[in-house]
Structure 1
Amino acid sequence: MTNKAILVSFLAILAIALTLNTVVAATNSTGFVDITGVNINGVSASTTTPAVAGEVSDTVPVEVFFVANQDVSDVKVKVSIEGYKDDISASTPRFHVVNGSEYVKRFSIQLPSSMDLDNLKEGLSVHVEISAKELDSVDADYAVEMQRDLYSLNILSVDGPDKTSAGSTVALDVVLQNNGNSRMDNTYVKASIPELGVERTVYFGDLSPSEEETYDNIRDANNKVLYLSIPRNAIPGTYNVIVEAYNYDASTTVKQKLVIEGTQSGVLPTITSKAIAVGEETTFDLVLVNPNSRMVVYSIVPETVQGLTVQASEPIVTIGADSSKTVQVKVKATSSAQEGTHLITVNVNSESGLEKKVDFTVNVEKTSTSTSNVTGVTSGSNTVLILTVILVIIFVVLLIVLIVLLTKRPAETEEFGETSYY
């Protein structure tokens, strides 16, 4: 009797277990697919523990295995990591699944960077979602334990100008952080422009993963300014500025663009045409303007002209910031100069090369222009003298006539009256 009761109890328990298993199986199969497994970076992932270890900024493969419970179209699989500054996700195009078939979809995602982690280690979830049109999605979260590198440096920012000019100085404000798990001693930052052969290195000191209470001067980040002097003869164009942070254990590099513009200048000729005779000399004024915030050096180079001697009063001219200066270009017609118009070209150069070509014209005449002017003045003077003499003579004659008329006494008139007889 006792044995029979025990057997009945055992059968009852087995029936209950089978019923529960059927219910659970039915519950797990309510979706149009079942997720049978997820591998992250080649490791089987779990929704709880143990978590898959992840290193900052690593790009890892993700594999999603699932079984279809019915025929469905427009199916899409998506994996994502949420809760960070940048969205991390990947998805498949829409596809069709057949009931009872097993599928695997593969992705590559980049894990968060060290800048996204608040602590030396941090847990996150990789969310897997399988969706279809007009059906409930099937999803699950899989655990990943993030950790920083043992030794790692991160250049948080490099602030500097995008444009500059040759001969100027560029200031780069660099912020460096220790985003590893260990203290970084004796860190340096080097900024360079390889195409110009320019570089500068600055000592940044010791950096700790977190602020150390024992040493006030050791922090997890530091910033300093590096100054790069651009050569005066730098050719205008776009250059790479490379900033490298390093110590004995680690290094990192960032790159940014710098545009070097040509020197701004103004070359203003005044009078551009004159006439001279053989053997005579004349000058042209050339105004040089420097609108830059630094000193600029100009060179004045006249081109050779047959029969003419051309030279600048100052072949090398130094002009301060926001200033101007006038330079004279002297032109002399030698005895071999031919009569006619001659073109004179003057090249104005700065540190960055040719700034402007200035053209003057000189008309060479056989007769001296000054002699012609004197002859004309002399002829004019003689005419004025003759007219003056004539006017003086007329004035004298008129004056004599007036004097004569004033000094002549009028004749006495005879009076005729009645004769008286006594």
Structure 2
Amino acid sequence: MKHKFLTLAFILIFAAVSSLTTVLAAQWYEYSEPDINEMTVYVEGEMVWYGYCMNDAVPDRWICYTYQYATPGLERGSNTQVKVSFVANTDLEEVSIKTWLTGYHEDIEAETAQFDVFAGNTYTKTLNLELPSDMDARDEYTLYVQIEHQQDLSGIDKAEVDTEIQRISNIIDILSVELYDSNNNYVNQFNAGSTIYIDAVVKNRGNYKAEDVYVRASINELGISRNIYLGDLAAYDEDDEDDSKDVTIALTLPSGIIAGTYTLEVYAYNDEVSDREIRNIFVSGYQEEQQGEQQPGKVEISTQVSSNEVEQGKGAVYTILVANFGSTTKNFIVETTGTEGWATTTITPSVFTLAPGQSKLVNIYLAAGENAVEGEHVFSAKVRYGNEAKSYNLIANVIKSKSETDWKLILMIIGIVLAVAIIVLLVILLATKKKTTTETVESYY
């Protein structure tokens, strides 16, 4: 008896849930034969909406119904296919089908070319909607499909479909790439032996945090590349964290290369996702006057990443580019000061040698202490070479450590505990009922 009761309960629950998947969207009457007798809408191959008209019991009256069978999940940043199938009761000329999505600040729409329709035939058309990548999943969006004609149509000529905006779980996007020279001029033409500075902005458009993101700039024809650690990018809807970051990468062009057009690739990636952007640059051949401009002790040092937000107990990477534009080989030593008591640093490399025309990217990994005081901390990186030394201020904004709570696991545990408690309660109730029945029978005799 107990098993039959539980089985019946599960069947009733399943039937109730299943009934919610189809919703009667609208119902109305037409008092002349409808122009469009029925229409079906598919999104990404799945039927989501259907409408039809039929003769009513009352003469010269048709009753029309529309149903929404499913709520399509649309992926922002994707090309979404909308297929429309319909049957007309009358011949029509110069008909087109238009679909559009409301709820976004710009028009998202598509329309077919015009075509003629003959009564009783089924016509199927496919349209594609380009969904923007910055659609907010928390907003409401409605998909419309309209059969358009020079005159107003009757019957099932328009569909209105409620949708949900989903996101690709993991995706990063390079929003912009800008190139400039040592004089801060934004250009795409450089001289051999000069340095290209690349500003790149990377955004996480995914549903989850993108961890340990790197950005690499490279010119494969010249065999040069630089790799920069960007860090973690928060999920798109995390309002209190950064879902985008910018980085500057410096690439020093070799001396004596052939003048021509070269391909510069900017590549953002982590273990799961990646994105790339391509820029074409023109490089002028090495010029003799450039050699005359070189000085025996000319060194160029620039900070690539000078400010980071660092969580207590965690770390961040700062980068400094050192280039030797002189005519002699130089030895360099990099050290930091000002982190005593709240952080430690690891410098890679801390000691190195650069021949004329060479450059080196120095990574400074700063690890904040678990008890580091919240707020802005300033520390210095000093680069020493020969009898000279240059210092650069770096900034660390220390924030409170965030506890990572696995809510899915907690909810699952709570659900299991509640299920066990309900089962135990049912067993106790059934046992008590059985015991009461037995005692009643015994007292009767």
TM-score, normalised via structure 1 length: 0.51
Partner of 2:124: 104
Asked if residue 295 in structure 1 is aligned to residue 293 in structure 2, the reply is: yes
Unmatched runs of 5 consecutive residues or more in structure 2: 1-26, 50-66, 180-186, 296-324, 328-356, 358-445
Partner of 1:150: 169
Contact 1:49 1:143 in 2 (8 A): no
Partner of 1:251: 274
Q: Which SS does the other structure have where 1:100 is aligned? A: coil
Among candidates 193, 196, 203, match of residue 170 of structure 1: 196
Give the CA deviation at 1:170.
0.7
Among candidates 218, 225, 228, match of residue 251 of structure 2: 228
Q: 1:45 to 1:212 in 2, by over 3 A?
A: closer
Asked if residue 206 in structure 1 is aligned to residue 232 in structure 2, the reply is: yes
Between the aligned partners of 2:173 and 2:31, the Cα distance in structure 1 is 49
Structure 1 counterpart of 2:203, one-letter code: Q
Asked if residue 196 in structure 1 is aligned to residue 196 in structure 2, the reply is: no
Partner of 1:237: 260
Asked if residue 127 in structure 1 is aligned to residue 150 in structure 2, the reply is: no
Q: Which SS does the other structure have where 2:249 is aligned? A: strand
Contact 1:295 1:319 in 2 (8 A): no
Asked if residue 117 in structure 1 is aligned to residue 130 in structure 2, the reply is: no
Give the CA deviation at 1:52.
0.5
Partner of 1:78: 98
Give the CA deviation at 1:61.
2.6
Partner of 1:53: 73
Structure 1 counterpart of 2:222, one-letter code: L
Cα distance per residue 1:299-334 (max 9 Å; x no partner) = xxxxxxxxxxxxxxxxxxx999xxxxxxxxxxxxxx
Give the superposed CA RMSD: 3.4
Partner of 1:367: none
Between the aligned partners of 1:67 and 1:57, the Cα distance in structure 2 is 32
Partner of 1:341: none
Q: Which SS does the other structure have where 2:73 is aligned? A: strand
Structure 2 counterpart of 1:127, one-letter code: Y
Between the aligned partners of 2:192 and 2:32, the Cα distance in structure 1 is 71
Q: Which SS does the other structure have where 2:113 is aligned? A: coil
Give the CA deviation at 1:45.
1.8
Q: Percent identity?
A: 31
Partner of 1:26: 30
Structure 2 counterpart of 1:50, one-letter code: A
Among candidates 36, 39, 42, match of residue 39 of structure 1: 42
Give the CA deviation at 1:25.
4.5
Q: 1:194 to 1:134 in 2, by over 3 A?
A: same
Cα distance per residue 1:249-305 (max 9 Å; x no partner) = 22222222222234567xxxxxxxxxxxxxxxxxxxxxxxx4x799379xxxxxxxx
Give the CA deviation at 1:87.
4.8
Contact 2:101 2:142 in 1 (8 A): yes
Cα distance per residue 1:172-193 (max 9 Å; x no partner) = 1111122211122211111111
Contact 1:122 1:147 in 2 (8 A): no
Q: Which SS does the other structure have where 1:45 is aligned? A: strand
Contact 2:213 2:233 in 1 (8 A): yes
Between the aligned partners of 1:185 and 1:27, the Cα distance in structure 2 is 62
Between the aligned partners of 1:96 and 1:190, the Cα distance in structure 2 is 54
Cα distance per residue 1:216-268 (max 9 Å; x no partner) = xx522211100011112232222221111111222222222222234567xxx
Give the CA deviation at 1:143.
2.6
Task: Point out the more displaced range, 143-152 or 45-54.
Answer: 45-54
Cα distance per residue 1:90-115 (max 9 Å; x no partner) = 322211111232211122333332xx
Between the aligned partners of 2:108 and 2:292, the Cα distance in structure 1 is 49
Structure 2 counterpart of 1:295, one-letter code: E
Partner of 1:179: 205
Number of residue equivalences: 246
Between the aligned partners of 2:124 and 2:217, the Cα distance in structure 1 is 48
Structure 2 counterpart of 1:188, one-letter code: Y
Give the CA deviation at 1:53.
1.3
Between the aligned partners of 2:114 and 2:278, the Cα distance in structure 1 is 39
Q: 1:70 to 1:49 in 2, by over 3 A?
A: closer
Contact 2:74 2:165 in 1 (8 A): yes
Give the CA deviation at 1:206.
1.5
Between the aligned partners of 1:245 and 1:232, the Cα distance in structure 2 is 27
Give the CA deviation at 1:200.
0.5
Between the aligned partners of 2:111 and 2:239, the Cα distance in structure 1 is 44
Structure 2 counterpart of 1:142, one-letter code: V
Give the CA deviation at 1:159.
1.4
Between the aligned partners of 2:106 and 2:266, the Cα distance in structure 1 is 24
Between the aligned partners of 2:239 and 2:96, the Cα distance in structure 1 is 49
Between the aligned partners of 2:269 and 2:33, the Cα distance in structure 1 is 55
Structure 1 counterpart of 2:142, one-letter code: S
Between the aligned partners of 2:33 and 2:142, the Cα distance in structure 1 is 24
Between the aligned partners of 1:254 and 1:228, the Cα distance in structure 2 is 16
Between the aligned partners of 1:319 and 1:228, the Cα distance in structure 2 is 17
Contact 1:90 1:108 in 2 (8 A): yes
Between the aligned partners of 1:136 and 1:264, the Cα distance in structure 2 is 73
Between the aligned partners of 1:28 and 1:124, the Cα distance in structure 2 is 33
Contact 1:155 1:245 in 2 (8 A): yes
Q: 1:212 to 1:26 in 2, by over 3 A?
A: closer
Unmatched runs of 5 consecutive residues or more in structure 1: 1-22, 266-289, 298-317, 321-350, 352-422
